[in-house]
């Protein structure tokens, strides 16, 4: 990318880059379930996911600083250096001590989708992520229409990222006292109320940035706590096929995020109403996901009894 001279070449190489990024997204989740006992997975996810959530705030700020002092090629040079630094510890990873069974080869994507627990948790994860992606797509247009500069738009992602961190590490602390399935309905209720409030704020005449960001940051807190719970609950039933389960999970998640971003982009003539309406629709999807996984047969994955046993052993 440092030497491209056309937009077509840049987009082609960006596609290749996206393949690598998506692979890493799947692999790190599989590594967590492979290297840690099941009773610790919730807390490990709750530790890592808030750090992943830093990227929406740090990336625009870092990119803006690089463009101020260097050319645009410096952004990709920086990404290359970061990639090399991340490869060093990855190369030192030792094989997981968990045994692999023949049953893994028989576990197909169709088998995963037949699990109500898996489908429900993945739908919750995808719906909550889609709401955030809808905001990422529409917010530059919303804030530009309000008269804010690109620098202010970049800074607007900082409070929501801090809120995501609070939610993630708050979840990690709460998991020491309660099980994930006990926290989930309350967190989804908070998510629904915050999204509805964000949508309501968008209906106000001359809504300010603060009026929109306050409920959105509450949504970010809820998301930060929901993600590690539902991801762990989706992957835990398949310890010998975590890579396959994580791959399908992230495909469905990113697919719904893409759809949400596409709708916002398609109807961008009314950015605030469109963005908040798409976010509102995810509440219905999250509710369907919760109903699906909560009505799953406990014998299918051991929930909620397995969670209780795991936490007691911890």
The encoded tokens of residue 60 equal: 């625009």
- Is 66 domain-assigned? yes
Contact 112, 238 (CB under 8 A): yes
- Is 272 domain-assigned? yes
Burial class (CB in 10 A: 0-12, 13-18, 19+), 139: buried
Mean pLDDT of the chain: 83
- In the DSSP assignment, the letter for residue 2 is T
**Residue 296 pLDDT:** 66
The encoded tokens of residue 38 equal: 């099941």
Question: Tens of pLDDT along 127-144?
Answer: 999 999 999 899 989 988
- Is 242 domain-assigned? yes
What distance in Å separates the CA atoms of residue 124 and residue 130, rounded to the nearest whole number? 10
Residue 244: pLDDT over 90: no
Give the pLDDT band (50/70/90) at residue 309.
very low
Q: Which residue has the higher pLDDT, 231 or 294?
A: 231
Owner of token pair 């060093």: 88
Q: What is the dihedral of CA 29, 56, 160, 235, to 10 degrees?
A: -10
**How long a stretch of residues is the chain?**
314
Report the predicted TM-score, pTM, of the whole model to 2 decimal places: 0.80
Closest CA to 223 of 264, 245, 253: 253
Domain count, the chain: 1
What distance in Å separates the CA atoms of residue 285 and residue 293, rounded to the nearest whole number? 12
The encoded tokens of residue 231 equal: 């991801």
Owner of token pair 């995810």: 282
**Residue 107 pLDDT:** 76
Residue 167 backbone dihedrals phi, psi, to 5 degrees = -65, -45
Contact 40, 236 (CB under 8 A): no
Question: Tens of pLDDT along 186-197?
Answer: 999 999 999 999
Question: Tens of pLDDT along 63-117?
Answer: 878 888 888 889 889 989 988 998 888 888 777 666 555 555 567 888 888 888 8
- Is 140 domain-assigned? yes
What distance in Å separates the CA atoms of residue 222 and residue 206, rounded to the nearest whole number? 27
Lowest mean pLDDT among 63-77, 83-97, 161-175, 253-267: 83-97
- Is 100 domain-assigned? no
**Residue 124 pLDDT:** 95
**Residue 247 pLDDT:** 84
Q: Which residue has the higher pLDDT, 253 or 107?
A: 253
**Residue 185 pLDDT:** 94
- Is 98 domain-assigned? no
Containing domain of residue 241, as a range?
7-89+109-313
- Is 249 domain-assigned? yes
Question: Tens of pLDDT along 20-51?
Answer: 887 777 777 778 877 777 777 777 877 887 78
Closest CA to 145 of 209, 204, 201: 209
Contact 190, 226 (CB under 8 A): no
CATH code, domain with 190: 1.20.1250.20
- Is 135 domain-assigned? yes
Q: What is the DSSP string of 224-260?
A: HHHHHHHHHHHHTT-TT-HHHHHHHHHHHHHHHHHHH
**Residue 238 pLDDT:** 81
């Amino acid at each position: 990318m440092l030497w491209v001279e056309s937009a077509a070449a840049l987009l082609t190489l960006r596609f290749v880059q996206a393949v690598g990024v998506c692979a890493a997204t799947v692999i790190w989740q599989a590594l967590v379930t492979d290297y840690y006992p099941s009773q610790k997975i919730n807390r490990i996810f709750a530790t890592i996911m808030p750090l992943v959530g830093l990227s929406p705030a740090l990336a625009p700020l870092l990119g803006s600083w690089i463009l101020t002092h260097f050319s645009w090629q410096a952004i990709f040079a920086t990404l290359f250096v970061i990639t090399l630094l991340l490869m060093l510890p990855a190369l030192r990873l030792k094989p997981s001590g968990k045994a692999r069974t023949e049953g893994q080869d028989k576990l197909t994507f169709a088998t995963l989708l037949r699990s109500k627990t898996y489908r429900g948790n993945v739908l919750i994860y995808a719906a909550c992520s889609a709401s955030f992606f809808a905001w990422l797509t529409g917010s530059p247009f919303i804030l530009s229409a309000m008269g804010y500069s690109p620098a202010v738009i970049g800074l607007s992602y900082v409070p929501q990222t801090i809120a995501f961190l609070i939610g993630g590490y708050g979840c990690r602390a709460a998991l020491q006292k309660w099980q994930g399935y006990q926290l989930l309905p309350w967190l989804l209720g908070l998510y629904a109320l915050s999204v509805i409030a964000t949508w309501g704020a968008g209906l106000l005449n001359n809504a300010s940035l603060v009026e929109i960001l306050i409920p959105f940051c509450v949504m970010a807190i809820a998301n930060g706590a929901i993600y590690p719970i539902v991801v762990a609950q989706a992957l835990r039933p398949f310890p010998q096929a975590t890579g396959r389960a994580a791959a399908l999970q992230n495909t469905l998640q990113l697919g719904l995020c893409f759809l949400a971003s596409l709708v916002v982009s398609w109807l961008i003539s009314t950015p605030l109403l469109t963005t908040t309406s798409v976010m509102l629709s995810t509440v219905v999807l999250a509710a369907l996901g919760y109903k699906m996984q909560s009505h799953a047969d406990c014998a299918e994955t051991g929930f909620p009894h397995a969670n209780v046993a795991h936490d007691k052993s911890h």
